[in-house]
Amino acid sequence: MTSVRLPSRYEDLDVAFRGDLRPNSALLAEVQQAFRSMAVSGGIRFLPIYGKSGSGKSSAAFELGTHLPEVKVFSLNRDSIESRELLIHEIKAQALQFSGSPLIAVIDQFEEVAAQQSRIPKEFVESLALLDRNELRSTPILFIWLTTDRSFQSDLVNATTRNRRILASPSFEILSAA
């Protein structure tokens, strides 16, 4: 019998197989709760997710668009993380492209960049708090930051202390499927 090994990165998985991955039920429930909360009180939400390398964080996050077809998932690049203006531009472009659809913006393991510039997590979350009150208050969007560093996840959570309302969960973890 031949065993088949999936690639370790979601983006390396052949497109034909992407919709066939099993959904992460805990993540689906958390995302659905975040969007229900936004429907009631508006604004945006932020979900820092911890998981060990190879645990399936990226796959679970990017597959949300398959398992929740009304939601549009996209990746934020590093420049958008470091610049509020670029972040606003990227979000508005995605909102325009997917008019009326709830959005999920995924930041995939940029802690190594942020660690070199310790201000980035705090500034990024503060930008989200400002966007929550201003430019994005009527755009249903969930920002998901994936990390393999539990202390970095804590830094992201601690950066929300001035606006806890945007924090979807302080300790969400993707456990390895193996």
Reported residue count of the chain is 178
- pLDDT tens-digit profile, the chain (178 residues): 554 454 444 455 454 444 445 778 999 999 999 999 999 988 899 999 999 988 889 989 999 998 999 999 999 988 888 888 999 999 999 988 988 899 999 998 676 555 555 677 788 888 888 888 888 888 899 999 999 989 889 988 998 887 888 999 999 999 875 5
Q: Give the DSSP per-residue string, 60-71.
A: HHHTHHHHSTTS
| pLDDT the model gives residue 83 | 87
Q: Position of tokens 């992407």?
A: 18
Return the axis-axis angle of helices 119-133 and 84-97, rounded to nearest 10°.
Answer: 50
Query: How many other C-beta atoms can be found within 10 angstroms of the C-beta atom of residue 109?
Result: 18
Q: What is the pTM of this model?
A: 0.84
| pLDDT the model gives residue 19 | 43
CA distances from 69 to 9, 43, 63, 87, 102 (A): 22, 21, 10, 24, 10
Residue ranges of the domains in the chain? 23-173
| pLDDT the model gives residue 16 | 45
Q: Which two tokens stand for residue 64?
A: 């949300």
Find out if CATH 3.40.190.80 is the number for domain 23-173.
Answer: no
Phi and psi angles of residue 141, each rounded to the nearest 5 degrees, phi first = -140, 135
Sheet holding 172-173, edge to edge: 72-75, 103-108, 141-147, 45-50, 172-173
| pLDDT the model gives residue 54 | 86
